[in-house]
Amino acid sequence: MAVKGDRSRLEPVARMLFVEQGRTLTDIEDTLGVSRQTLSEWKARTRTFGEEFDEWDKARAAKEGYEARLLEVRDTIMMQITMAPLQAGSYLDSLSKVEAILDRRTRNAREAAERIAQQKGEMFLAFVRDLVEFGHKSDSDMVRVVESNFDDLIQWGREKYAA
């Protein structure tokens, strides 16, 4: 679970997951460890008075519309090439540009998912480090338990927080 003060680091990641990857708040809650209620509050803060949608929803709709339009353009070009194969050369440059944009967007989404997986691992290790520090200050038995089960704890963290 995220702790107070993580907003500045996690809110942009949550927004990116919602807008760029189309993930639900429940899925983001599971991924980042931020409660659904907190995510809803972050979203709501971006709503302008009198507007029906918040900025997260507007950005997601714009992105989905943009991608849908790119796919339509690609399909139209492919249809033109199929219908007039002798004139295909005039369409190939446009097709390659549209495909490059779609590929770049896919690559960016994949890289974002990889960054999130890395952040989850870093958050887990930071938690273990904080747990050990807390144990040193308040409960030496806890530190011994963590140390004697350290490999199992790290393996559990890898399984739980693997992307």
Domain that holds residue 109: 7-161
1 lies in some domain: no
Q: What is the pLDDT of residue 40?
A: 93
**Displacement of CA 57 from its chain's centroid (Å):** 15
- If one counts the domains in the chain, the total is 1
The verdict on residue 126 lying in a domain is yes
Residue 118 lies inside a defined structural domain of this protein: yes
Q: What is the pTM of this model?
A: 0.51
The answer to whether residue 2 sits within a structural domain is no
Task: Indicate whether 92 belongs to any domain.
Answer: yes
Phi, psi at 46, each rounded to 5°: -90, 0
Q: Phi/psi at 24 (nearest 5 deg)?
A: -80, 165
- Residue 127 counted as domain residue: yes
Mean pLDDT, the chain cut into blocks of 10 residues (163 residues total): 70 89 90 90 90 89 86 92 87 91 86 79 82 86 87 83 59
- As a whole number of angstroms, the distance between CA 137 and CA 30 comes to 31
